[in-house]
Structure 1
Amino acid sequence: MMDAKEIERVRRFQRTVTQRIGVLNDRFLARDRPLGQARVLWEIGAEGREVRALRARLELDSGYLSRLLRSLESDGLVVVDGGGPDGRVRTARLTPAGAAERAELDRRSDAAAVSMLRPLSGSQRERLVSAMSEVERLLLASMVTIDALDPRHPSARHCVRAYVAELAGRFEGGFDPARSISAGDQELRPPAGLLLVAVLQAEPVGCVALKRPAGGSVAEIKRMWVDQAVRGLGLGRRLLDEVEARAAGAGVRTLRLETNRALTEAIALYRAAGYREVAAFSDEPYAHHWFEKRLPPGA
């Protein structure tokens, strides 16, 4: 259960921030449009953006986003056109007037930031900007979702490709998955295993897999990867905790994994999470360290 004092501090922070940045005013930054419309203009950007991607990134109800886009279209700032073979892929693009409005909003946003910083001393500004950066990191961490996906899902494919590419760049002599112990699609589907994918703002940013040979009480952790852009958010530990919980719920009592000496961050993570180094239990050609962790009964 959440602490009541913590909940109240979060709500007080929200009230202060929304007032200070002008969310309460229907004319955001003294323009004739609310914050929602201004944010959609900014997210569409110079290249345009598919409406479904816009909806996923902003986590908006489709009806509400449609109303925002219609308002922007009626103001001559946005056009929404169909594409693809069946015309169902709709893309929002800025008109020249929309691009000019976006530039003006950027200018006024910069001025608003200056007005927030100017009254403060140099040390206070540094503290505020550092605190804002920390809050942003923690809020982003709270926005990450983790779900089990089929290995053929596009987000799962993206993560595994990124995992392979990173190992190829970091391992001495590269990395060829064909030489490594298998973790194929069939091995990462229930009941043989699973693949967890972390998503932030509609983009896949991490994964971890569980391989359970013959459905026994011993399982292997595979395909542990976190996107460089979100490292430092604690996502690696969260993925590890989630796969452990899923394994324990399926009756697994011992988790094993092997890793390469080049992956120093992963090694530190495993040790901090209670994994102990053991003798080699596989002939994985890319491994230098083997780890094991006993899961408590009834976990």
Structure 2
Amino acid sequence: MTESVSTEHVAAFRRFNRCFTRRIGVLNDHYLGQDRPLGEARLLFEIATAGGPDGISLRELRTRLGLDAGYLSRMTKRLQGRGMVVLSAHPEDNRLRMARLTPAGHAEVKEQNRRADALATGVLEGLAPDLRAQLTDAMTTAARLLRLAAITVKPVDAHAPDARTCLDAYADDLDARFPEGFDRSDLVAPEKVSGEAGAFFVAYEEDRPVGCGALRRLTPGAGEIKHVWVHPDARRLGLARRILQTLEAEALRRSWTVVRLDTHATLSEAQTMYRACGYTEIPAYGEHVYASHWFEKRLAP
């Protein structure tokens, strides 16, 4: 249930991009005064910070940086030619190419970090302490929202591995939090959230499942929301609300104008979210061993 993006918002976003990229020197072929552009500098940084003793695979680098395989290959070969990177096969999987820094590469990244800190210090020195705090808070918010915007929420087959992976993690979370534990047999059966009976959605961040939610038919014209879960690494982004909105939109698409759900007494943050999203607490609409609170929301197109 997303609204169209206004031209004012688009213009403001592009204006900020132009200001920020110019200020930090993205357009300069010698980023931070070093002998390489931003792309290669960022690649060195990722290899240094994300790689283990054997380095990091090019496959993981492609995912982390969102790069075309050919472009990434050309950059790593240039860095290899300049003595910054060593390319090798993975010790346990010859199909994977690994990249690790040479001593010269480590030295360059160390200098890169020193110069980047100096650049950030120079920017912040131009502001009074209260304005520095304001800018820091604004950048933190921007980073959170940009990360949320990049996550996709897609319908998947409820039998699919990603769906089962999310439900397993969801069950583990509940088993740890509920005083009585959690019985996995309580998870909704795949056929009840498939086809005409319902739907299952998975949230993906860089092709990695980081959340899920299910919708099933409850009564004619009414659906039930089940198993809204977010990976710990993706919490506090607003992703649970986004999954909830996706499920509501799917209910409307099926002409279900009411959605209901229940939740456990210990999940106080979930109760707070449901109330904030327009759900009203109602009497119990069914028997469920883990339910202490029941909610309903009437949907309008």
Deviation at 1:153, TM superposition (A): 4.4
1:29 and 2:32 aligned: yes
Q: Which moved more, 1:276-285 or 1:14-23?
A: 276-285
Query: Secondary structure of the residue that 1:212 maps to in structure 2?
Result: strand
TM-score in terms of structure 1 length: 0.88
Paired position in structure 2 for 1:91: 98
Residues 157-208 of structure 1 show CA distances to partners (whole Å, capped at 9, x for unaligned) of: 4422332222122222222223x2x413333333433221222234332211
The match for 1:293 among 288, 291, 297 is: 297
Say if 1:252 and 1:79 are closer, same or farther in 2 by CA, change over 3 A.
farther
Say if 1:49 and 1:156 are closer, same or farther in 2 by CA, change over 3 A.
farther
Aligned-partner Cα distance in 1 for 2:155–2:191: 14
Residues 129-161 of structure 1 show CA distances to partners (whole Å, capped at 9, x for unaligned) of: 122112212211211111122345454344223
The match for 1:106 among 104, 108, 113 is: 113
Paired position in structure 1 for 2:228: 224
The match for 1:40 among 43, 58, 64 is: 43
Q: Which moved more, 1:32-41 or 1:274-283?
A: 274-283
TM-score in terms of structure 2 length: 0.87
Aligned-partner Cα distance in 1 for 2:164–2:112: 38
Residues 76-97 of structure 1 show CA distances to partners (whole Å, capped at 9, x for unaligned) of: 2223333487732333222332
Which letter maps to 2:71? Y
The match for 2:19 among 3, 16, 29 is: 16
1:198 and 2:185 aligned: no
1:207 and 2:212 aligned: yes
What is the identity percentage for the equivalent residue pairs of Structure 1 and Structure 2? 44
5+ unaligned residues in a row in structure 2: which ranges? none
List aligned pairs for 1:255-274, cutoff 5 A.
Answer: 255-274=259-278
Deviation at 1:219, TM superposition (A): 2.6
Aligned-partner Cα distance in 1 for 2:87–2:192: 43
Deviation at 1:286, TM superposition (A): 0.8
Deviation at 1:30, TM superposition (A): 0.9
Aligned-partner Cα distance in 1 for 2:291–2:247: 21
Contact in 2 for aligned 1:57/1:202 (Cα 8 Å): no
5+ unaligned residues in a row in structure 1: which ranges? none
Aligned-partner Cα distance in 2 for 1:109–1:290: 51
| Number of residue pairs aligned between Structure 1 and Structure 2 | 294
Say if 1:160 and 1:90 are closer, same or farther in 2 by CA, change over 3 A.
farther
Q: Which moved more, 1:24-33 or 1:80-89?
A: 80-89
Aligned-partner Cα distance in 1 for 2:157–2:115: 45
Contact in 2 for aligned 1:58/1:201 (Cα 8 Å): no
